[in-house]
């Protein structure tokens, strides 16, 4: 069986998810530059060291020397659970050895008087500002109680999570340090297939490791290849630079020493590198990290369509003759940016702001650069005639409001009144129904579309205003880490369910 394996080294376990093919999550200087400034002192971009084309074509040494000091090791610590078995290091885990070779060691039973904190993961990170901001993967820091960052000169700091985003698998950390070595931000849009790149990180805990390869492809969607469903925003840079567990969150740089991606995943039949690795391009990193720093949460814009990639079979079926590729609109969502702009089912979208949208990854990458309220020009074909329209992007709730960390919009849904007939049928006296469920706290907790909330933290709920008032009361009271919505409710089928929704700021 092929597997998806989290590749920040995990002490005691290697998380495994089944899929068709094996992908392992590895524990633009353009018009957007003024909109999303990099976090350097003074808010200015680090100036790039200029090289001649001849020097850049062959000089791996300069690029390596200029970047190793800008990549850090990140260790994740959490309190060990009470159980019968423990492992003294990640290499002692028989499941780890199953994927990465070696003979399983004998499990040793150990009784612990009280839980203790231990290392549960290892990954990499990239310094993006001299005053201590670091970007890494969300899966490197997810679930950590403490994060320890080690610089290339062996200085060690505890790190604070400024914000994280599971959809793009990115996180922003901060350490209390000054005058750090910064890797300048490059333009991932300008890199070309066949161009040399270097991967810098800490594979298997071997610090300051540099490997080389070429860009094998751009705008690669892993989920479409594995048929495993959409795991988030995916528009990866594919390379053949050797990347292994522990490289998660490390740097992918060009030969100028500029950051063009964050190494995230590998394609593998064994759990270790066998040919292809994948990095999140800086076109996405820049926007996401800026949002996390400014708002504590990503401002996610959506176009509001359901679509499929245009194939020869689909084109023949739908009578599309003007174009051979694009995104065929299957449905336009209610209260969406696309509906407002007049986009209709059957349209074939071929470009946004002049950037081709031949596949879903290209669309995701372009839209991910924008915030709700931004305007984009959509080029499409209707009845085999070329059209253009300006679209004002909206958020997942159908408006252009800014979402901030601690905002009720984090719940990721809207609410609608429950009819008297439904209340009578379910034999309940009050409630409000979850509608328009999107990515957010409710979805993460397992709440499904149509769920009727009857009370939150023992307070009756009758409207969306009630939900917001209770949410704000929770956020304003108690310690920062102890903020939970205990929700009681019922599904239209009559099944009564309880949910605990963690709304504490990570």
Catalytic residues: 139, 169, 248
Location of structure tokens 């925003």 = 233
130: tokens are: 């001299």
Is 199 strand, coil or helix?
strand
Q: How far apart are CA 281 and CA 260, in angstroms?
A: 6
Q: Decide if 389 contacts 342 (C-beta within 8 A).
A: yes
13: tokens are: 């376990």
User: Strands 385-392 and 170-174, how do they pair?
Assistant: unpaired
165: tokens are: 């985003």
User: C-alpha angle 234/235/239, rounded to 5°?
Assistant: 115
Q: For the chain, first and last CA: distance in Å?
A: 35
Q: Decide if 148 contacts 141 (C-beta within 8 A).
A: no
**Tally of residues, the chain:** 506
Buried (b) or exposed (e) across 244-255, using 16+ Cβ within 10 A?
A: bbbbbbbbbbbb
Q: How many helices (H) and strands (E) does the chain have?
A: 12, 29
326: tokens are: 């694009």
Radius of gyration in angstroms for the set of CA atoms belonging to the chain, rounded to a whole number: 24
User: C-alpha angle 80/85/87, rounded to 5°?
Assistant: 70
What sign does the CA torsion over 133, 169, 403, 464 have? negative
Location of structure tokens 């079979």 = 313
139: tokens are: 């899966």
What sign does the CA torsion over 33, 136, 297, 304 have? positive
- CB proximity list for 222: less than 8 A, separation 6 or greater: 23, 228, 231, 234, 236, 265, 278
Q: How far apart are CA 25 and CA 267, in angstroms?
A: 9
Q: How far apart are CA 94 and CA 99, in angstroms?
A: 9
């Amino acid at each position: 069986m092929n597997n998806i394996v989290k590749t920040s080294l995990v002490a005691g376990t290697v998380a495994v998810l089944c899929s068709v093919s094996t992908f392992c999550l590895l524990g633009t200087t353009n018009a957007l530059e003024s909109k999303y400034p990099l976090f350097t002192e003074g808010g200015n971009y680090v100036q790039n060291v200029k090289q001649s084309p001849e020097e850049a074509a062959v000089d791996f040494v300069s690029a390596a020397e200029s970047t190793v000091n800008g990549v850090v090791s990140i260790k994740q610590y959490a309190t060990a659970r009470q159980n019968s078995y423990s492992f003294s290091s990640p290499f002692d885990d028989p499941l780890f050895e199953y994927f990465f070779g070696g003979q399983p060691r004998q499990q040793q039973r150990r009784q612990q008087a009280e839980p203790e904190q231990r290392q549960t993961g290892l990954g990499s990170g990239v310094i993006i500002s001299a005053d201590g901001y670091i970007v890494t993967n969300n899966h490197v820091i997810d679930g950590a109680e403490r994060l320890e960052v080690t610089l290339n000169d062996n200085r060690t700091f505890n790190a604070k999570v400024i914000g994280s985003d599971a959809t793009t698998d990115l996180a922003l950390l901060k350490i209390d340090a000054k005058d750090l070595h910064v890797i300048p931000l490059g333009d991932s849009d300008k890199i070309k297939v066949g161009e040399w790149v270097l991967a810098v990180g800490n594979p298997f805990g071997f610090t300051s490791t540099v490997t080389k390869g070429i860009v094998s492809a751009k705008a690669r969607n892993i989920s479409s290849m594995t048929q495993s469903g959409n795991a988030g925003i995916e528009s990866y840079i594919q390379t053949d630079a050797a990347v292994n567990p522990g490289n998660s969150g490390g740097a992918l740089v060009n030969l100028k020493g500029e950051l063009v991606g964050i190494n995230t995943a590998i394609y593998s039949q064994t759990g270790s590198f066998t040919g292809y690795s994948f990095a999140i391009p800086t076109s996405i990193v820049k926007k996401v990290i800026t949002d996390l720093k400014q708002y504590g949460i990503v401002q996610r814009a959506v176009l509001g369509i359901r679509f499929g990639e245009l194939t020869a079979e689909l084109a023949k079926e739908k009578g599309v003759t003007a174009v051979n590729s694009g995104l065929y609109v299957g449905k336009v969502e209610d209260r969406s940016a696309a509906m407002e702009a007049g986009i209709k089912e059957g349209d074939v979208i071929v470009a946004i702001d002049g950037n081709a949208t031949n596949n879903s990854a290209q669309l995701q990458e372009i839209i991910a650069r924008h915030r709700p309220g931004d305007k984009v020009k959509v080029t499409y074909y209707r009845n085999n005639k070329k059209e253009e329209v300006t679209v004002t992007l909206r958020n997942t709730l159908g408006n252009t409001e800014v979402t901030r960390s601690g905002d009720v919009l984090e719940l990721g849904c809207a609410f609608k009144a429950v009819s008297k007939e439904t209340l009578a049928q379910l034999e309940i006296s009050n409630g409000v129904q979850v509608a328009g469920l999107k990515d957010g706290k409710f979805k993460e907790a397992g709440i499904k579309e149509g769920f009727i909330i009857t009370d939150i933290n023992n307070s009756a709920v009758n409207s969306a205003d009630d939900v917001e008032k209770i949410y704000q009361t929770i956020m304003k009271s108690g310690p920062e880490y102890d903020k939970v919505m205990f929700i009681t409710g019922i599904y239209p089928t009559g099944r009564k369910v309880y949910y605990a929704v963690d709304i504490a700021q990570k």
